[in-house]
A and B are shown apart, each in its own frame.
Chain A
């Protein structure tokens, strides 16, 4: 059995085989592999008795479901109106400068992926961003450099 097959079997055993469990199972694969690949979806489809196209169609509906390889840390910068008003574009420039990549790209060492997202629910402390499941608020360009540095350090240890 491949690593993915084992992981999927594990998840199906945990959640169940019926359709209602598709989202947690996709999330489970995404957690361990950093994204859900073509192969993963085929394995899930086979295990759950669904068509591969159905799994693909469901996965692509959800903005957080990555179907192309992503970095270890996925940065999601909020672009909705309040964050926009409070300087989201400056933060984006700072991130692109700190990581040396553009929006949508992944750093060559596969460490960071830079994406945008909609309202994170931190408008009173805008601008805000998520890095994986950690939220960072009251952002300034200086803070951004500090944050990226701390993640790089964490990764090196």
Chain B
């Protein structure tokens, strides 16, 4: 059982009924004040990319456009991530409030929740909550309406520009960037797109003030984060923890005593082997001691009974299927990596072929059009580097 090394936080799921009051209080403050509070809190995107939220809202506010939008990215598809589902089931009003405040700041009157098709059942409780929220908006005199847009089975639509394409009735193929969403988003208009958890955190910041949020975490990784924990652990589930802990501390609390590896950030994240638990911390890239890994919060634990070859094979199969297919390095590269590790395992290619694949994954990282292709190298390299034997024998 876990040693309770890590402090459990209770901010996101805390049951709070004062939605109208908080919305009113926040709207009474000026846009500049709110943006500064957000920037001062150090809140970074909780979907995995970690872009400073306050800055995102500021840039979109300043962008030129006649009709701006706020979009909540609820296309939670990263393997091992399930926290957004929980937020939308239990505390959706926090997300909606965040969206509405953002709308007021940037000048948007329409918001959307891009809900993945696999979570369609959430609409049964979410739509009534949205209807309730609209009444509150009317009561406080805010012109803001939220609609649910339903996804239909495409992991890549979690990528912001692919999400816009999907909402525009097209294939979810990521766009060329620049231009970025703050200038050219949904329907070519300036758009703020934020992860569900990020928006839920803005509630905390606007209600309790930036300091409460900032007091948690370390250096460049402020605040708390929801972690979706699964795999070989006696206590799988969603936990709100402080950012900045080492993987060692994490495993002390959540491991089953035989943890061989932890996959941080899902299939597009990094695999940390036991020998590196102490050196690696969870947070956003910055001036942390040791290496810090950015993450959407997916933590999968593997004990010594697991084959890391099977794990990598599963991730690569996932990417081969979910790649949008438009760009060469990702479409073909993912297939080469998958067929490649199979060939090495079967003895059809020599072990040195793994080095060829390594170099190929570097090219995928440097030339892919979007984050999917760029991130395949993360799990591929970290698993092959640390578990080379298991790839061959």
Q: Specify whether A and B are partners.
A: yes
Q: A residues touching B (Cβ–Cβ < 8 Å)?
A: 18-24, 26-27, 57-58, 61-65, 79-82, 84-85, 117-126, 130, 133-135
B391 on interface, CB distance cutoff 8 Å: no
**18 more CB-based (< 8 A) A-B contacts, given A124-B229, A124-B238, A134-B121:** A19-B168, A23-B152, A23-B167, A24-B150, A62-B152, A64-B117, A65-B152, A81-B231, A81-B300, A84-B310, A117-B153, A118-B77, A119-B80, A121-B119, A122-B82, A123-B236, A123-B300, A124-B82
Q: How far is the CA of A63 from the CA of B156 in the complex (A)?
A: 11
Chain A residues with CB below 8 A from B117, complex form: 62, 64
Contact B118 A120 (CB under 8 A): yes
Q: B residues touching A (Cβ–Cβ < 8 Å)?
A: 76-82, 84-85, 117-121, 149-155, 166-172, 187, 228-232, 236-238, 267, 300, 302, 306, 310-311, 314-315, 318, 321-322, 324
Contact B150 A57 (CB under 8 A): no
Contact B169 A80 (CB under 8 A): no
Chain A residues with CB below 8 A from B236, complex form: 123-125
Q: How far is the CA of A105 from the CA of B46 in the complex (A)?
A: 39
Q: How far is the CA of A18 from the CA of B167 in the complex (A)?
A: 12
Q: How far is the CA of A120 from the CA of B76 in the complex (A)?
A: 9
What's the least CB distance linking B183 to chain A, in Å?
20
How many inter-chain contacts with C-beta < 8 Å in the A-B complex?
Answer: 115
What's the least CB distance linking A23 to chain B, in Å?
6
Contact A62 B154 (CB under 8 A): yes
Q: List 12 A-B contacts (CB under 8 A).
A: A22-B170, A23-B150, A23-B169, A26-B152, A81-B79, A85-B302, A118-B155, A121-B84, A123-B236, A124-B229, A124-B230, A130-B118
Using CB atoms, name the residue of chain A closest to B84: A121
Chain B residues with CB below 8 A from A21, complex form: 169
Chain B residues with CB below 8 A from A122, complex form: 82
Q: How far is the CA of A119 from the CA of B84 in the complex (A)?
A: 14
Cβ 8 A contact of A81, one of B76, B77, B229, B315:
B315
List the 7 closest A-B pairs by CB distance, nearest first. A63-B153, A22-B169, A64-B153, A124-B236, A123-B230, A62-B152, A121-B82
Q: How far is the CA of A57 from the CA of B151 in the complex (A)?
A: 16
> A62-B154, A133-B120 are known contacts. Are A20 and B169 too (CB-CB below 8 A)?
yes
Chain A residues with CB below 8 A from B230, complex form: 82, 123-124, 126
Contact B314 A58 (CB under 8 A): no
What's the least CB distance linking B15 to chain A, in Å?
21
Q: How far is the CA of A65 from the CA of B166 in the complex (A)?
A: 13
Chain B residues with CB below 8 A from A64, complex form: 117, 152-153
Q: How far is the CA of A52 from the CA of B338 in the complex (A)?
A: 34
What's the least CB distance linking A59 to chain B, in Å?
9
Chain A residues with CB below 8 A from B322, complex form: 118
Q: How far is the CA of A26 from the CA of B151 in the complex (A)?
A: 12
Chain B residues with CB below 8 A from A123, complex form: 79-80, 82, 228, 230-231, 236, 300
Q: How far is the CA of A85 from the CA of B79 in the complex (A)?
A: 13
Chain A residues with CB below 8 A from B229, complex form: 124
Chain A residues with CB below 8 A from B310, complex form: 84
> A58-B169, A118-B322, A124-B238 are known contacts. Are A82 and B79 too (CB-CB below 8 A)?
yes
Q: How far is the CA of A121 from the CA of B228 in the complex (A)?
A: 9
Using CB atoms, name the residue of chain A closest to B124: A133
Chain A residues with CB below 8 A from B187, complex form: 20
Contact A57 B166 (CB under 8 A): no
Chain A residues with CB below 8 A from B237, complex form: 124
> A63-B152, A81-B315 are known contacts. Are A121 and B81 too (CB-CB below 8 A)?
yes
Cβ 8 A contact of B79, one of A118, A130, A133, A134:
A118
Cβ 8 A contact of B300, one of A20, A82, A130:
A82
Q: How far is the CA of A79 from the CA of B151 in the complex (A)?
A: 20
Cβ 8 A contact of A65, one of B84, B119, B149, B153:
B153
Cβ 8 A contact of A82, one of B80, B84, B155:
B80
Q: How far is the CA of A135 from the CA of B155 in the complex (A)?
A: 18
Q: How far is the CA of A125 from the CA of B235 in the complex (A)?
A: 11
What's the least CB distance linking A157 to chain B, in Å?
22
Using CB atoms, name the residue of chain B closest to A123: B230
What's the least CB distance linking B13 to chain A, in Å?
15
Q: How far is the CA of A23 from the CA of B117 in the complex (A)?
A: 11
Q: How far is the CA of A122 from the CA of B82 in the complex (A)?
A: 6
What's the least CB distance linking B258 to chain A, in Å?
14
> A118-B321, A119-B79 are known contacts. Are A81 and B169 too (CB-CB below 8 A)?
no
Q: How far is the CA of A115 from the CA of B315 in the complex (A)?
A: 19
Contact B82 A27 (CB under 8 A): no
Chain B residues with CB below 8 A from A20, complex form: 167-169, 187
Chain B residues with CB below 8 A from A118, complex form: 77, 79, 155, 318, 321-322
Interface-centre pick from A18, A21, A80, A122 (highest chain B CB count, 10 A): A80
Q: How far is the CA of A84 from the CA of B167 in the complex (A)?
A: 32
Cβ 8 A contact of B171, one of A24, A61, A84:
A61
Using CB atoms, name the residue of chain A closest to B236: A124
Using CB atoms, name the residue of chain B closest to A24: B150
Chain B residues with CB below 8 A from A119, complex form: 77-81, 155, 318
